[in-house]
Amino acid sequence: MKTICFYFQIHQPFRLKRYRFFNIGRDHYYFDDYANEDILQQIAARSFMPANRMLLDLVNQYQGKFKVAFSISGVALEQLEIYAPEVIDGFRELSKTGHVEFLAETYAHSLSALFDPEEFRNQVRHHAERIEALFGQKPTVMRNTELIYNDDIAEMVYDMGYTRMITEGAKHVLGWKSPNYVYQAASQPKLKLLLKNSRFSDDITYRFSNYSWNEYPLTAEKFISWIAATPPEEEVFNLFMNYETLGNIQPSHTGIFEFIKALPRFASEHEIGFSTPGEVLDNHEPIGAINVPNSISWSDEERDVSAWLGNKLQQSALKALYEMGERVRLCTDRRLKHDWLYLQTSDHFYYMSTKHFGGGQSHFSPYMSPYDAFNNYMNVLSDFIARVEAQYPETVDNEELNALLTTIHNQEKEIKRLQMELKTVIGSNEKRLVEKVKK
């Protein structure tokens, strides 16, 4: 039986405020609260809220025959909790129905998988804990930032205890193969992979309201008939998209909500079901291995990581950031650790991309130009680095520092132990004294 697997991505970065170099060393707050609140609330009103309501209705109406999955980055969760807690409540209700799955990802929506394995592991763990605390389910399927994937990441993910992962069905990787099957990683055959069907996903995300598209208007009936018309042995259709597709990228007047509402009806006519990624990966055996030596992602025509790592600016900013990783992990200052996470969000580096010159700056960048983005980010990062160094001087190298910290930590323990011993000794001495006096 054919099955449709929906997964929606929810992410919003903590955008940085205008941070000039004369703020360095004086101002340690980096974020544009006004813009962040404004943007998040707009998106919540236009997209998240109505979409949550609609999905809840559908799940209830079809009693378990309609299912979806979500991946919500930690930074987005934090913003939702502050600015639109009703959206979190909506997800909680969805989670309670038992037909909604939450995926694991990096807490900061970061590129740590490519730069700092230890940071990656920490963030995934941190994110899973957060999801469990909020929605009462432990994520078991891994989704890396922007669906970035390569053979090394596969091994890393498997070593962390995940056996299931989703990524992009990039054409240059798949070749003649179809994304409509379950695959396994070439570097770690025990890791099952689910690949995005780019054509069907993009039909909804990008082409749905495009008047010049020859298939316009896209109806649920037509869409399901396309899926039904695929060869019978192709059973899995992975529609991975940004949650903002519903209501924001495709505004409600385009009829996107009605389209999604009608999908289950036509699907059941063709005996097409809905599943979550976890179920699909459990119910299907991999039919082949996927070899990905160079990183892929779901971004741009190239489906590679050049949107974040394409130029010198981005590379040097990322290098400067991740050089601090080890040092930051030794720190205990809570605010520092928060900022560390927020500064890792991939969007900051996307804004520095010079790939989109000519075609106009990417419309959701808050900056006038990539240079502006780099400049602002580096100023913030300079201040951040100075703060980290203020905690532990630069002259002490990481290993030495670690050793010193361990010594201090051990000595603390030792002191505590000795104090306890001292107490018992004093205690017993007192007792003895009292007994002596009594005698």
Chain residues that interact with other proteins, rule: CB under 8 A: 20-22, 311-313, 315-317, 354, 357-358, 368-369, 371-372, 374-375, 378-379, 382
Shortest Å, Cβ 234 to other proteins:
44
What's the alpha-carbon Rg for the chain, to the nearest Å?
A: 26
Rounded CA-CA distance 267/222 in Å is: 11
H-only helix segments in 240-369 = 256-269, 277-283, 306-309, 312-322, 325-330, 334-344, 347-350
Closest CA to 121 of 150, 149, 162: 162
- CB-nearer residue toward other proteins: 223 or 374: 374
Exposed (0-12), middle (13-18) or buried (19+): which is 204, by Cβ within 10 Å? Answer: buried
- CB-nearer residue toward other proteins: 18 or 138: 18
Partners of 100 in the β-ladder: 68
**Any catalytic annotation for residue 146?**
yes
- CB-nearer residue toward other proteins: 20 or 335: 20
Tokens 């990683």 map to which residue? 185
Exposed (0-12), middle (13-18) or buried (19+): which is 262, by Cβ within 10 Å? Answer: middle
- CB-nearer residue toward other proteins: 213 or 357: 357
Residue type at position 112: S
Q: How many CB atoms lie within 10 A of CB 118?
A: 11
Q: Is 1:272 a contact under the CB 8 Å cutoff?
A: yes
Shortest Å, Cβ 314 to other proteins:
9
- CB-nearer residue toward other proteins: 381 or 388: 381
Shortest Å, Cβ 359 to other proteins:
12
Rounded CA-CA distance 109/373 in Å is: 18
Q: How many CB atoms lie within 10 A of CB 29?
A: 12
- CB-nearer residue toward other proteins: 237 or 384: 384
Active-site residue identified among 119, 146, 235, 279: 146
Residue type at position 385: I
Identify whether 217 is preceded by a cis peptide bond (ω within 30 of 0).
Answer: yes
- CB-nearer residue toward other proteins: 27 or 258: 27
Residue 361, φ and ψ in degrees, nearest 5: -65, 140
**10: three-class secondary structure by DSSP:** strand
Shortest Å, Cβ 308 to other proteins:
15
Shortest Å, Cβ 364 to other proteins:
19
Q: Is 387:28 a contact under the CB 8 Å cutoff?
A: yes
Rounded CA-CA distance 392/327 in Å is: 8
Rounded CA-CA distance 242/262 in Å is: 20
Shortest Å, Cβ 357 to other proteins:
5
Rounded CA-CA distance 10/409 in Å is: 40
Shortest Å, Cβ 202 to other proteins:
28
The catalytic residues are: 146
